[in-house]
């Protein structure tokens, strides 16, 4: 995961982003209750193959139809990438990813069961109503081995499949504190939308860059021209938790973790109405990575709900 920290940045609330939430079109999403989210977080295994099995059952419990779940073999004797598709009104895609593998030190709850175990909950948050975009949730294998799973997934995409992906939202290392975003590696329309929905929901968001010697699965998609953003919770103070014996459930701040889930659920619903599904993102590296321009004002409409655990 994101192994080094750059400079912390305070995100300026852009007037244009805020005004886009002032009126008219609503966004809708529902929330799992906190107990259900925490139950999923506590269900981690120390064995990566078991993690993939647990996630598969979580997706089914959250309403992913068996026909929409698949496994993508990546590497011999390694768990596969796990994929759940939530079909939309168009074939244009918002991809949501988080790796489920971990290093031997610690329990790997923070890095990155915290992100992987949220994917089924985010599916649940979105699947009550029809969506304009098709959402593809991918739990990546072997991120800790130099992004093997996400690189494999990205490189297997055809040029047409790449053009259909309008956004890649990556979750990596959540719950060490309030929600952070890797601003220097975020495409501007996606960053603006995140700022806007955080403001509308009255939830915290700050910038913390992790340039230098760290990386995450979002970068596998940046290389092929897909707009991306990585959401995390690292700060200078919490960096020592990574890849250490400190990576345990006890390191997490569960209030902050649930707020990150709340923000992400709203963010994905907001991207669905804000990104134009008729736009065509770049098909390869070097092309414009900001083609899915935000459109139309929106405001959040959320509901709370208990759900299968």
What gap in Å lies between CA 40 and CA 261, rounded to an integer? 12
Q: Are 84 and 74 in contact (CB under 8 A)?
A: no
Whether 2 is covered by a domain: the verdict is: no
Number of domains comprising the chain: 1
pLDDT average, residue stretch 146-156? 90
128: which 2 tokens?
A: 């009550």
| 275 in any annotated domain | yes
Is residue 283 a part of any domain in this protein?
A: yes
Choose among 152, 181, 168, 160: nearest CA to 289. Answer: 168
Q: Does 1 map to a domain?
A: no
Please state which of the ranges 72-86, 172-186, 289-303 shows the lowest mean pLDDT.
289-303
Say which residue, 83 or 26, is predicted with more confidence: 83
pLDDT at 21: 54
* Averaged pLDDT, 13-34: 64
Record the tokens describing residue 141, joined without a space.
């294998």
Q: How far apart are the first and last CA of the chain?
A: 27
**Is residue 105 assigned to a domain?**
yes
Work out the percent of the chain whose per-residue pLDDT is above 90: 64
Lowest mean pLDDT among 220-229, 236-245, 261-270: 236-245
Residue 50 lies in a domain: yes
Give the CATH number for residue 90.
3.40.630.10
* Mean pLDDT value of segment 115-124: 98
Instruction: Report the C-alpha gap between 295 and 93 in whole angstroms.
Output: 17
Which of 83-87, 114-118, 130-134, 185-189 has the lowest average pLDDT?
185-189
Of 273, 306, 180, 172, the C-alpha closest to 235 is 180
Other beta carbons within 10 angstroms of residue 305's beta carbon come to: 13
For residue 243, give its domain range.
8-305
With 50 as the cut, is the pLDDT of residue 309 above it?
Answer: no
| Confidence label for 210 from pLDDT (cuts 50, 70 and 90) | confident
Does residue 81 lie in a domain region? yes
pLDDT score at 280: 52
Q: How many CB atoms lie within 10 A of CB 132?
A: 16
pLDDT level of residue 189 (50, 70, 90 thresholds): very high
Share of the chain above pLDDT 70, in %: 80
Dist. CA 153–CA 165, nearest whole Å: 13
Q: Rounded distance, CA 273 to CA 94, Å?
A: 11
25: helix, strand or coil: strand
* CA dist list (Å): 160 to 70, 163, 223, 237, 245: 20, 5, 16, 43, 43
Kindly report the average pLDDT of the chain as a whole number. 84
Mean pLDDT of 258-270: 98
| Average pLDDT of the residues in 55-78 | 95
Q: Indicate whether 3 belongs to any domain.
A: no
pLDDT value at residue 279: 62
Does the pLDDT at position 7 exceed 70? no
User: 97 is written with which tokens?
Assistant: 């990813």
Alpha-carbon torsion angle 271, 272, 277, 282, nearest 10: 40
Q: Where are the alpha helices (DSSP H) in 225-286?
A: 254-274
């Amino acid at each position: 995961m994101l192994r080094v920290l750059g400079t912390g940045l305070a995100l300026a609330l852009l007037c244009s982003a805020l005004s886009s939430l002032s009126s008219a079109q609503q966004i809708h999403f529902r929330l799992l209750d906190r107990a259900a989210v925490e139950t999923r977080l506590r269900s981690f295994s120390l064995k990566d193959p078991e993690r993939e099995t647990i996630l598969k059952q979580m997706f089914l419990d959250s309403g992913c139809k068996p026909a929409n779940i698949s496994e993508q073999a990546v590497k011999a004797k390694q768990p596969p990438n796990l994929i759940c598709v939530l079909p939309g009104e168009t074939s244009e895609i918002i991809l949501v990813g988080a790796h489920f593998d971990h290093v031997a030190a610690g329990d790997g709850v923070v890095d990155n069961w915290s992100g992987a175990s949220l994917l089924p909950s985010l599916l649940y948050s979105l699947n009550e109503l029809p969506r304009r975009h098709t959402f593809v949730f991918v739990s990546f294998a072997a991120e800790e081995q130099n992004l093997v799973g996400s690189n494999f997934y990205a490189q297997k995409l055809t040029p047409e499949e790449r053009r259909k992906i309008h956004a890649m939202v990556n979750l990596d290392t959540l719950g060490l504190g309030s929600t952070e975003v890797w601003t220097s590696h975020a495409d501007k329309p996606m960053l603006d939308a995140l700022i806007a929905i955080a403001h509308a929901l009255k939830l915290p968001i700050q910038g913390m860059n992790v340039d230098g010697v760290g990386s995450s699965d979002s970068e596998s998609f940046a290389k092929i021209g897909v707009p991306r953003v990585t959401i995390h919770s690292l700060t200078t103070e919490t960096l020592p938790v990574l890849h250490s014996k400190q990576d345990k459930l006890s390191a997490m701040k569960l209030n902050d973790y649930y707020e990150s889930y709340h923000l992400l659920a709203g963010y994905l619903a907001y991207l669905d109405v804000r990104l134009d599904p008729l736009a065509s993102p770049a098909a390869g590296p070097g092309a414009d990575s900001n083609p899915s321009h935000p459109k139309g004002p929106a405001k959040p409409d959320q509901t709370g709900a208990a759900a299968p655990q």
